[in-house]
Chains A and B, each alone.
Chain A
Amino acid sequence: MSIPALMNHDLDVSSCRTSSSTRFTPLQFEARVLIDEVKPLWSADITKKLGELVKLEPGWDGYRAMPVSFVNAVFAFRVLERICGPATPAPMIVPGVGGDLQLEWHTAKGDIELHVLAPNNVRAWYTRVDDENSGGEERELKTDFSIVAKWVQNVTEQHAGAL
């Protein structure tokens, strides 16, 4: 029998259990070969921007707009992990007035807008520049963003290749 993927330091397992910290001691590995963590290009910009948006003052639009909710920001980040390659350029982020947010790419090849209304509730829209006759493609997505990963690759190919 072979050993499945050895990826223990990648796992993000529940910290909800109680025994791990209080009732037994996992052995510590003294020598471990770790490949340097390479963060995707988009992550630093996005983390900074989301950090600003969750701290917006209520009424930031001059009316009654709310700051971007923390759970929506976390969910948006987890969506980006699944649709962006390591060299994908960061999208623009536009806050909504109800704690929601939009992730947007507008390039010479097309446009993508992802409206994160709540966790597991995303309205996605995509149009290609070379497809003027269609009104674009619209999807309501929950947790599976495979289709958006293809859209992102299509509209950002040139950018990624240039890096």
Chain B
Amino acid sequence: MAHIPKRPADLPDFEAPPINEVVLGVQFSPPKGYRQINAGEVWGLFRSGFPKVEEHEPIAPMFETFGLPARLVKFEVMPGPVHDRFWFVRPDGTELIQFQQDRLLHNWRKVGNEENEYPRFEAMMTQFRDELEKLGEYFGKLSPQSLFISQCEITYVNHIPFELADRQKVSDWLHFVDFGGPEPEDFSIGFREIIRDADGPPWGRLTCECQIAITQKGKRIIVMSLTARGAPTDNSKESAFEFLAKGRSLIVSRFADLTTKAAHVKWRRTR
């Protein structure tokens, strides 16, 4: 069994975090010699653990670039035939691999009665590392090449129960939201931060989105999503893993900054 590294000692930790989904992913240049007909062979790499398949629309390439402030404009160019995004799903639906010709992602999510336990980042990373190694080896057999990774992305989605009948305030949970009077029926807010080391160049963006939502069971929740995305230092797999580890630390720290001490008590913060 692969070695699972320890969680960094200085990172905030919760025994019962409101985590609902975590996604680790990389975007890479489409490999030489690969065509959509090869997707079945890629599934073959993971099929024993992920026997179910779903087809979805592909995700467009995304790049975090820096310079002038800009409002993102949709890039409406169709490149020709489009490769599907495949989901390879575990029998119980708790984990899935998303694959398209320029992306590999691994999702963990709560399903069913939502009692399945979050395996934690270190275990997810160990698995994702193995999956990316396998994919890289496969592409290398199609044509001598290494994966050229251009973007990395890590997302944490939290579901915070928020019933109107409980007379809760959003500010009971989120530090940065105070409506100063009656609570709104619903809201949707978000912000982005440039990620950079002290005085260094920017290496990514952190996006935070919060909105009210209704679960399929009719429960009112605040969905709080935090995403760190950017380019790895040198396009290699190892750089990508470093980015994801840094992104995770940043997300967990910002989550602790943005949520209240009262919330931390409910989520049993231990560090």
Across the interface, do A81 and B213 meet the contact criterion of CB distance under 8 Å? Answer: no
Q: A74 CB to closest chain B CB, in angstroms?
A: 5
Within the assembled complex, what's the spacing in Å between the Cα atoms of A15 and B27? 13
Interface status of B34 (Cβ within 8 A of chain A): no
Which residues of chain B are within 8 angstroms of A142 by Cβ–Cβ distance? 231
Known contacts A13-B207, A71-B150, A85-B68, A54 near B77 by CB under 8 Å? yes
Scoring A4, A10, A43, A51 by chain B CB atoms within 10 A of each residue's CB, the highest score goes to A4
Across the interface, do A74 and B61 meet the contact criterion of CB distance under 8 Å? Answer: yes
Number of interface residues of A (CB under 8 A): 58
Interface status of A58 (Cβ within 8 A of chain B): no
In the complex, which residues 110-163 of chain A have their Cβ closer than 8 Å to any Cβ of chain B?
Answer: 118-120, 142-146, 148-149
Interface status of A50 (Cβ within 8 A of chain B): yes
Interface status of A31 (Cβ within 8 A of chain B): no
Known contacts A26-B188, A27-B214, A75-B63, A17 near B68 by CB under 8 Å? no
Across the interface, do B77 and A47 meet the contact criterion of CB distance under 8 Å? Answer: yes
Scoring B79, B176, B191, B221 by chain A CB atoms within 10 A of each residue's CB, the highest score goes to B79
Which residues of chain B are within 8 angstroms of A1 by Cβ–Cβ distance? 171, 175-178
Across the interface, do B77 and A82 meet the contact criterion of CB distance under 8 Å? Answer: no
Interface status of A34 (Cβ within 8 A of chain B): no
In the complex formed, the residue of A with least CB distance to B78 is: A51
Interface status of B251 (Cβ within 8 A of chain A): no
Contact of A13 among B68, B150, B209 (CB under 8 A): B209
Across the interface, do B21 and A17 meet the contact criterion of CB distance under 8 Å? Answer: yes
Within the assembled complex, what's the spacing in Å between the Cα atoms of A60 and B79? 17
Interface 1/0s, chain B 177-203, versus A by CB < 8 A?
Answer: 110000000101111100000000111
Interface status of B1 (Cβ within 8 A of chain A): no
Across the interface, do B155 and A43 meet the contact criterion of CB distance under 8 Å? Answer: no
Known contacts A8-B188, A70-B61, A47 near B76 by CB under 8 Å? yes
Interface majority SS (helix, strand, loop, mixed), chain B: strand
In the complex, which residues 25-78 of chain A have their Cβ closer than 8 Å to any Cβ of chain B?
Answer: 25-27, 29, 37, 39-40, 43, 47, 50-51, 54-55, 69-71, 73-75, 77-78
Which residues of chain B are within 8 angstroms of A145 by Cβ–Cβ distance? 65-67
Across the interface, do A25 and B213 meet the contact criterion of CB distance under 8 Å? Answer: yes
Within the assembled complex, what's the spacing in Å between the Cα atoms of A85 and B21? 38
Interface status of B59 (Cβ within 8 A of chain A): yes
Which residues of chain A are within 8 angstroms of B63 by Cβ–Cβ distance? 74-75, 78, 119-120, 143
Within the assembled complex, what's the spacing in Å between the Cα atoms of A79 and B150? 14
Across the interface, do A19 and B66 meet the contact criterion of CB distance under 8 Å? Answer: no
Contact of B71 among A10, A14, A18 (CB under 8 A): A10
Within the assembled complex, what's the spacing in Å between the Cα atoms of A78 and B227? 19
The 7 closest A-B CB pairs, nearest first, are A82-B67, A70-B79, A4-B191, A119-B150, A145-B67, A81-B70, A27-B186
**A binding-site residues for B, Cβ under 8 Å:** 1-8, 10-20, 23-27, 29, 37, 39-40, 43, 47, 50-51, 54-55, 69-71, 73-75, 77-79, 81-85, 118-120, 142-146, 148-149
